[in-house]
Amino acid sequence: MIKTLGLEYYKIRRKKIWLMITLFLGVEMLWAFMSITRSIAKNPDHAVWESIVFNISSMNGLFMPIISAIVVSRICDMEHKGATWKLLVATNVRRGNLYAAKYICANSLLLFGILTQAVMMIVFGLMKGFPGTPPIEILLQFIVVNLLTTLAVTALQQWISLAIKNQTFALCLGMLGGFVGMTAGLFPGEARHIFIWSYYLDLSPVTFHYTGSTSLYITQPVGAGIVLFALAMTVLFYIAGSIHVSRQEI
């Protein structure tokens, strides 16, 4: 298993996946930072740590599903392109191991992206001189819920990317996810829980409230129910995908 995982990292060399994640999330961060700077200019009350966490969380609803789809697709597509799946299976690699290795590889790369986001948020907050020290607890929560949601999203993406050779399907699903994630706030509460992509916002440690003429950021506890739901989806997608792909004839 360790060998299979090591091989995944070896195989993605020259695929420039790191660079792609960095650039993609870099654009997102830049956009978020600019919009916060503008909002602070209008309303100095917004110069708080919570604002940056909330903004990034809601924008992740758009960006993370898409970058997840791209990363997973890149990692899976190389096996389709060179017909290497049969080579690996005929060389005594268990399909279940291969599936797990790809899943871990993709998620470790995306975790790197999430961690980078957290670091950038701290840097930005310090630069802007937000009051107080960086809210470690909120940031940790941000990291955990983003990873949790990403785990479910990648489980779904990997299933599609490996089961259907044409990567257009997987990438379209990623874009659909981004759309749902971006507009999650507009859906009624219960209905949106069936869409995994809305969890970037739903599980966000910070939310935004309008009270009359003023608006403010407040921290919210993470709902245990939704967390369980996300975990259940991860397990479901992963197991279904792994079994389906392992049974496919080569």
Nearest-approach distance from CB 6 to other proteins, in angstroms? 7
Q: Applying CB under 8 A, which part among 13-21, 56-64, 127-135, 155-163 lies near other proteins?
A: 13-21
CB nearer to other proteins: pick between 89 and 147: 89
Binding mask 66-95 for other proteins (x = CB under 8 A): ------------x--xxxx-xxxxxxxx--
The CA distance from 208 to 52, in Å, is 11
CA neighbours closer than 13 Å in the CB half-sphere of residue 206: 23
Which residues have CB under 8 Å from 118's CB, separation 6+?
A: 139, 142, 143
Which CB sits closer to other proteins, 1 or 218? Answer: 1
Binding to other proteins in span 14-43, by CB under 8 A: 14-15
Q: Which residues contact 17 (CB under 8 A, 6 or more apart)?
A: 71, 74, 75, 109
Q: Is 11 in the site for other proteins (CB under 8 A)?
A: yes
Residues 6+ apart with CB under 8 A from 24: 63, 66, 67, 70
Beta carbon nearer to other proteins, 12 or 64:
12
Which residues contact other proteins by CB under 8 A? 3, 6-7, 10-11, 13-15, 78, 81-84, 86-93, 249-250
